[in-house]
Amino acid sequence: MSHVLRLALTRLLEAEDGRLSASQFTHAQRLALDNCRSRTGALCLQRSGRGSVYCLTDRVVIEQHLRRLAPLDDKQATTSLPRRAAHIGHTRSSKGGRHNHEWDYLLLRSNNPVSWHNDDGEALDLQAATRQQGAAVLRIGSGEDTGWHTTGTLWLLENQALFDRLDWLPAGQAASVLWYSGQLRHSLVHWLAQRPRAGSVILFPDYDGVGLHNYTRLKKQLGDECHFWLMPGWQQKLTRYGNNELWQKTAREFNAALPALAPLFAAEPVLKQLVIAMQTQGLALEQEAVWLPVEE
């Protein structure tokens, strides 16, 4: 509410004669102004024709109140400050506005020779970086794109265990593996959609509502460049190791994903089989099951 009131009071202070029609404020701003009016007595609401007008009655009091709400004046130079620091200055909260971080960092690994290149002619030997440092990092965000890309396959993994240990990958595949931890961030999907980043993108999530919903988001942006991976023996593993509690927990996302999944089934019939099996058995399967045995 303090953020809403700050915006409303700032508009009122900047208005000619300190008067503005109530219709120029949002419903939330009018509520905040009415609350401030009753507490401070420094502004009033007057009838004007068929409407109402907010008027300043004590500009000094309102300016002092605004300084308490926003210790850092909007007119002070804040372009050099990180976004969340500026929010604290303006609203006393790092979340007092658009509060996502300006940068995201992508963790990548590979156990085979893989090279990434950017628009500046620089190259990243991902296998060497994995061997020497454990992983490589690419920074994305703030509208800046240095064009990092590879000709190989890029795997997107939901859980860290498969990122730590890559022996589950199809034999001999020269692939980059990226761990995204649970939900695909909007910034990652946007980065992948900006330009071709890899020869193909494979999503290997948990087989649950969240994983399927993430696939529909990715498929919408990448089209045929994107594929859903089903581990060998997934049918037996779903039956033997599947989890009903996880199925119920992500049922809302599962049902929300169904309309977007249906058009994909003609080209991906195995995906349809997975969806039907999950529905029929009421089970979801975590991706770490890739290492577990199936009955002969």
**CB 262, CB 215: distance < 8 Å:** no
Statement: the pTM of the whole predicted model exceeds 0.75? no
Number of domains in the chain: 3
Are residues 8 and 87 located together in one domain of the fold? yes
Are residues 65 and 131 located together in one domain of the fold? no
Q: Which two tokens stand for residue 42?
A: 């420094």
Q: Which two tokens stand for residue 222?
A: 């990448």
3-class SS of residue 139: strand
Are residues 80 and 109 located together in one domain of the fold? no
Residues above pLDDT 70, as percent of the chain? 88
pLDDT score recorded for residue 6 = 84
For residue 80, CA distances in Å to 20, 37, 77, 224 come to 33, 35, 7, 41
Are residues 179 and 271 located together in one domain of the fold? no
pLDDT score recorded for residue 247 = 97
pLDDT score recorded for residue 7 = 84
**The 43-48 sheet, strands edge to edge:** 19-21, 51-56, 43-48
Of 145, 141, 127, 255, the residue nearest 195 (C-alpha):
145
Q: CB atoms < 10 A from the CB of 28, how many?
A: 14
The DSSP element (H or E) to which 21 belongs, if any, is: strand 19-21
Of 265, 286, 292, 269, the residue nearest 208 (C-alpha):
286
Are residues 7 and 84 located together in one domain of the fold? yes
Q: CB atoms < 10 A from the CB of 169, how many?
A: 19
pLDDT score recorded for residue 3 = 76
Q: Is 216 part of any domain?
A: no
Task: Pick out the chain residues at pLDDT < 50.
Answer: 77, 96-97, 99
Q: Is 221 part of any domain?
A: no
Q: Is 222 part of any domain?
A: no
**Domain coverage including residue 288:** 227-296
